[in-house]
Amino acid sequence: MSKRAIRILLIVVVVLGGLFVAADRFAVSFAENEAAEKIKSQEGLSSTPDVSIKGFPFLTQALGGKLDDVEIGIKDYDAKSGGDTIRVADLSATMHGVDFSSDYSSATADRAAGVARISYDELLKAAKSEPVKLPLGATGEVVGLSDGGNGKIKVEVEVSKGGTKLPKPVHVLSSLRVEGDAIKVHADTIPDKIDVLGVSLPLPEGLVRNVTDFEEQISDLPGGVKLDTVQAAPDGVDVAVKGENVDLVS
């Protein structure tokens, strides 16, 4: 084969390769948009989620009816919390081994793993209830949550007596854990007494824990993923989620 023929062949290969890449990227973009719209409709989202199909080429994956990895990002998702709702500020997850129908009307992932961010203000809703009665006519109520460092959260308790608030709130460091579909907050230590308006107020641990310790139920996450672990972060708590046979679209 002459040098000129080789050059022509190389040009043809490059052009065809470029056309294939262009067609592949167009196809993956179309599939991502279709999937995003269906997820938005199925989950009743106010905004369209981000969907990113990984792996190249996409077309060969599509022909096989199974995608390697799909990344999904959802903002402001309202999960269930008992008879109420809790706002998940940000949920990002990677779906592995996604089987889908030819018209994208259904898609199921072999497994999924991700992280859900819940703000401290949202988590505080579970702690805010009627003030708890303490000894000598005092009451205690959780009024704030924040990052306590080293994986802990700081629980701010307001103590009142006779309608007068303590000049400074009481702070306790608490640990977090996941148990079933609930995030549980448990104070590491409880002060045994506190001075209220010049009076030393005893603080029975069991009674005080009725104020400081609480849990937040979280269910009905997208695709049926479940809570796994939880850790404190600067602006809220990061909850690891995971699942198997997760329905992206059904």
β-partners of residue 159 are 140
Q: What is the DSSP string of 134-191?
A: -GGGEEEEEEEEEEEETTEEEEEEEEEETTEEPSS-EEEEEEEEEETTEEEEEES---
- Judged by DSSP in three states, 166 sits in coil
pTM of the model: 0.81
Q: Is 37 helix (H, G, I), strand (E, B) or coil?
A: helix
Query: Residue 165's pLDDT is what?
Result: 78
* Residue 86 vs residues 98, 102, 214, 222, 246: alpha-carbon distances, Å: 28, 35, 15, 14, 21
Q: What is the pLDDT of residue 18?
A: 44
The C-alpha atoms of residue 97 and residue 62 are separated, in whole angstroms, by: 12
Per-residue pLDDT of 43-93, as tens digits, reads 888 889 888 888 777 777 777 778 888 889 999 988 888 778 889 999 999
